[in-house]
Amino acid sequence: MDIALSSDYASSNALFPVYSAMRIIDIKDAKKHLGQLVEEAANGDSFIIAKAGKPLVKVIAFSPSERPAKSRLGFLQDLTRVPDLDKSVE
């Protein structure tokens, strides 16, 4: 799929030269072609979504190594001890 970019987006590359090598897609076009764009990003073709010519987000493929670590809730459970306050102190 090749989404045609208006002249506004071509000129926005001059304003944001760091993004000039990356495809910039208007948010309205991204909404229309979301499924196809997500598939392209998953295959390594990253792009930027812009609104009114201003870059908003960069869409890149998700890497399995970026998955969040397992929850560590309760990891100190075996290292703590709560005193029994019901017993009388002798």
Q: Please, which pLDDT band fits residue 60 given cuts at 50, 70 and 90?
A: very high
Q: Is 56 exposed, middle or buried (0-12, 13-18, 19+ CB in 10 A)?
A: exposed
pTM, to two decimals: 0.52
Task: Give the integer Cα–Cα distance in Å for 85 and 78.
Answer: 19
Q: Which CATH architecture has domain 7-62?
A: 3-Layer(aba) Sandwich (3.40)
Model confidence pLDDT, tens digit, residues 7-55:
444 444 444 555 557 899 999 999 999 999 999 999 999 999 999 989 9
Q: Which one is predicted more confidently, 56 or 66?
A: 56
Q: Which one is predicted more confidently, 3 or 34?
A: 34
